[in-house]
């Protein structure tokens, strides 16, 4: 099982929020029938109370089973990722000066709708089993469709993810990047991931 704990340094009354997304090639929870891969990843973003990104925040992930800790800093967009994690129990902590402690209790689960090998996410057929066994509350889903220059080519993937979320009563949808985010918003995205469009 996976646990998530985010500890933020004591300080001002402002709150540092973290959005942790489970983006799993298999899953960090061992599930029957998911034997194609043994590795997964944990990624997320760190924001302040206003929703602004917090770059340079210190994020650590600790394997409870092996007592091994890895550390990274959030990038200029407040994002972080820990790749190539083996199934097990992990804690994630985040610290930044001037912020009081907060706790992460909800996650998004990445779904691989394209079936592309090497792309993160669990198979749609395994989604219900994963949600049932996930030790933290799943509040939404995310996906990355195949890259294309035509935004409309991403629409079927976004629509399908929205349907999967709606059927399970999940309100948050992370989908859409610089080249297709308007289509993602039309299909119900509540979170988009923008990069190159910000610097164009």
Greater confidence (32 vs 189) lies with: 189
Neighbours of 7 (CB within 10 A): 15
- Asked if 85 and 173 sit in the same domain, the reply is no
Q: Out of 67-81, 104-118, 170-184, pick the least confident.
A: 104-118
Residue 157 has pLDDT above 80, yes or no: yes
pLDDT in tens, 160-176: 999 999 999 998 999 99
CATH number at residue 103: 2.60.40.10
- Asked if 131 and 180 sit in the same domain, the reply is no
Residue 58: the pLDDT is 87
pLDDT band at 101 (very low <50, low <70, confident <90, very high): low
Return d(Cα 109, Cα 195) in angstroms, integer. Answer: 21
Residue 5: the pLDDT is 34
Greater confidence (34 vs 175) lies with: 175
CB under 8 A, 24+ apart: contacts of 155-160? 155/183, 155/186, 155/187, 157/113, 157/114, 158/183, 158/184, 158/187, 158/188, 158/189, 159/187, 160/113, 160/124
- Asked if 116 and 157 sit in the same domain, the reply is no
The residue length of the chain stands at 200
Return d(Cα 146, Cα 150) in angstroms, integer. Answer: 11
- Domain hosting residue 188, numbered range: 148-200
Greater confidence (78 vs 35) lies with: 78
Torsion of CA 140, 14, 54, 79, to 10 degrees: -20
pLDDT in tens, 46-85: 887 777 888 888 888 877 778 888 999 989 988 888 888 7
- Asked if 134 and 162 sit in the same domain, the reply is no
Number of domains in the chain: 2
- Asked if 121 and 164 sit in the same domain, the reply is no
Return d(Cα 161, Cα 113) in angstroms, integer. Answer: 8
Name the percent of the chain lying above pLDDT 90.
25
- Asked if 104 and 158 sit in the same domain, the reply is no
């Amino acid at each position: 099982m996976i646990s998530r704990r985010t500890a933020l340094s004591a300080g001002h009354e402002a709150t540092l929020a973290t959005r942790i997304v489970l983006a799993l090639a298999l899953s960090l929870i061992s599930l029957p029938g998911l034997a194609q891969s043994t590795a997964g990843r944990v990624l997320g973003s760190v924001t302040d109370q206003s929703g602004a990104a917090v770059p340079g925040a210190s994020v650590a992930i600790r394997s409870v089973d092996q007592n091994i800790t890895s550390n990274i800093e959030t990038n200029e967009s407040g994002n972080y990722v820990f790749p190539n994690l083996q199934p097990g129990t992990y804690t994630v902590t985040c610290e930044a000066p001037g912020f009081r402690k907060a706790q992460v209790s909800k996650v998004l689960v990445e779904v691989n709708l394209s079936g592309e090998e090497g792309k993160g996410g669990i198979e749609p057929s395994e989604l219900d089993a994963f949600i049932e066994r996930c030790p933290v509350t799943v509040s939404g889903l995310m996906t990355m469709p195949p890259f294309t220059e035509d935004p409309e080519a991403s629409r079927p993937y976004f629509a399908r993810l929205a349907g999967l979320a709606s059927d399970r009563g999940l309100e948050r949808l992370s989908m859409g990047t610089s080249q297709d985010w308007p289509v993602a918003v039309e299909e119900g995205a509540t979170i988009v991931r923008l990069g190159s469009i910000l610097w164009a």
